[in-house]
Each structure stands twice: as C-alpha cells, then as structure tokens.
Amino acid sequence: MTISKKKQASVMAAMPAHLHAELAAYAWARDSVGESDAAVYRLQGRDGAPDLYLKHGRGSAAADIADEMARLRWLAQYLPVPAVVQFARVADPDQAWLLMTALPGATASEVLEANPALGPAVVDALAAFLRRVHALPVSDCPFNAGHAVRLAKARQRIDAGLVDAEDFDAGREGWTAEQVWAALQDCLPLVPDLAVTHGDFSLENILMQKGAVVGCIDVGRAGVADRYQDLAIVWRSLGELDAALQQRFVQQYGILDADQGKLQFHLLLDELF
C-alpha cells in the first residue's frame, strides 16, 4: 500500500543526509509481507531507475537491520541476495536504515498460490537451492547462528516481554512463552549438524522465476547452525500445503528420514522470534 507523505517524512526525518539523494523522487509503498520488527518499503518510479527496498527500525530492530546488512555483504559472494546500496545508523535515538536492490521474481509462496500444480517442481527447486546454501564453507562464515546463541536471545526476548504468544502455531495455541521454553529444554541436548544456514528458509523468503530460484531475502539470521534450522522452517511451510510435498522436499534435499526431534526443537525455538 502507498504510504502518506507524512509517514514518509517521519521515516526520513532522522535519516543521515547521504541517504536523501538516493531516495529523492521515489514513490513509497509499505511491504507488509513477513514478520520483521522493522518497517519495509518498496521504492519505485524514479525515472526508470531500478526498484529498491528500504528497511527502517529502532532499538532492537535497528540491531537486526545491522545484522542483516553484514550478512548480505558476506553472502553476496556466494548467493543471489539483494545488494546493499546504503546503510546508516544513528545512536540517538537508535535507528537504522538499510537500502537494498530489489530482486526479480515472485516468492515461492506466490508461485504456489497462483498454480498449486507446480508444487513438485517448486519443491525440487527449493531443495536444490538449500543444498547450495548448506554447501557454503562453514570455516569462512563469520556468523554464529547456533542453537545456543538463539536460545540466549530467545530467553532475552521472553524476559523483555517481546514474544507474541498470539502468533504461535496452531499446535501450540494457548501456550505461554514459558511453556515453549520448558518444552525446548526437554529437547536438549541437541547435537548439531553444522552448515551455513539461511536462518528463515520460508516460502516467503525465496524468489523464483521461470521455475528456478533466483534469490533469497531476509537473511538477518543467517550463519553457522544446525542444518535443521532451515529444514524445519520449510518443512512447516510445506506442511501447510500438502504433507506429500514435505516428504518430497527432504528426499530431494538428500534425507531419507527426517529427524522429527530436531524438527520439533527448531519449530519450538522459532515461536520465540
């Protein structure tokens, strides 16, 4: 949806001067897809210039934006991700802006919604792309996204009252954040199978064009972690469509029998973010 001039002005008010020139003459539209705490805007219509995306956040969202910027720059040498055009952060109050290129294509979710019969082909493309992600060199990745790090962040979010229990999966409807935390402890210890992970490998974060994956977005949680971090998220997404697609995905990825305990752990953990 197009945003008002007043809203646009408020986002730009504290923005460092070097960003203003980049944003002049663009039309702004709010992008409501995803669950980020940051506001996301698509910028279009500047004299034939390519479309851009702007993320803006305050406080913890500003830190998340900074994390995503660093990961985008590292991943760009290996994967099709948005290019960082500009990044800025100010301390008082804590705010960050991340300006990125827009990638081509539609999300895997949009592709399947438009034509459910493409399910097997989409699943095969997703599995191939995830194998590509997980083949990146762990020793070269500077980001630790392991479950111990995420558990610590989850505990901080619970204590700060930041967990939205109303958004829990249907199987945990009515649970509290503390009940999710207790269930997580029952799943430990976890022996990770380390890989470079996307961190939020959902159908909304993978872009496709002509049957192939052409990019991934929302990489702020990327880093070295148990590969089931990614497998669990896409498993849940596909399960909302067809259980047969779940099985096809893991088989195309290269797993004959998915580890249900690890799937459960990572889905529980995801509830707290």
Q: Could you tell me the domains of the chain?
A: 5-101 (3.30.200.20), 106-271 (3.90.1200.10)
SS3 of residue 76 by DSSP: coil
pLDDT at 10: 75
86-136 residue pLDDT tens: 999 999 889 999 999 999 999 999 999 999 999 999 999 999 999 999 999
Given a cut of 80, whether residue 37 has pLDDT beyond it is no
pLDDT at 162: 92
Q: How confident is the model at residue 1 (pLDDT cuts 50, 70, 90)?
A: low
Over its C-alpha atoms, the chain yields an Rg (Å, rounded) of 19
pLDDT at 76: 98
Q: How confident is the model at residue 7 (pLDDT cuts 50, 70, 90)?
A: confident
SS3 of residue 98 by DSSP: strand
Q: How confident is the model at residue 35 (pLDDT cuts 50, 70, 90)?
A: low
Which of 200, 218, 226, 270 is flagged as catalytic? Answer: 200
Bridge partners for 144 per DSSP: 224
Given a cut of 60, whether residue 189 has pLDDT beyond it is yes
Q: How confident is the model at residue 2 (pLDDT cuts 50, 70, 90)?
A: low
And the tokens for 82? Answer: 């948005």
HSE of 200 in the Cβ direction (CA atoms, 13 Å)? 16
200 an active-site residue? yes
Q: Specify the pTM.
A: 0.93
List Cβ neighbours of 58 (8 Å cut-off, separation of 6 or more).
Answer: 93, 94, 95
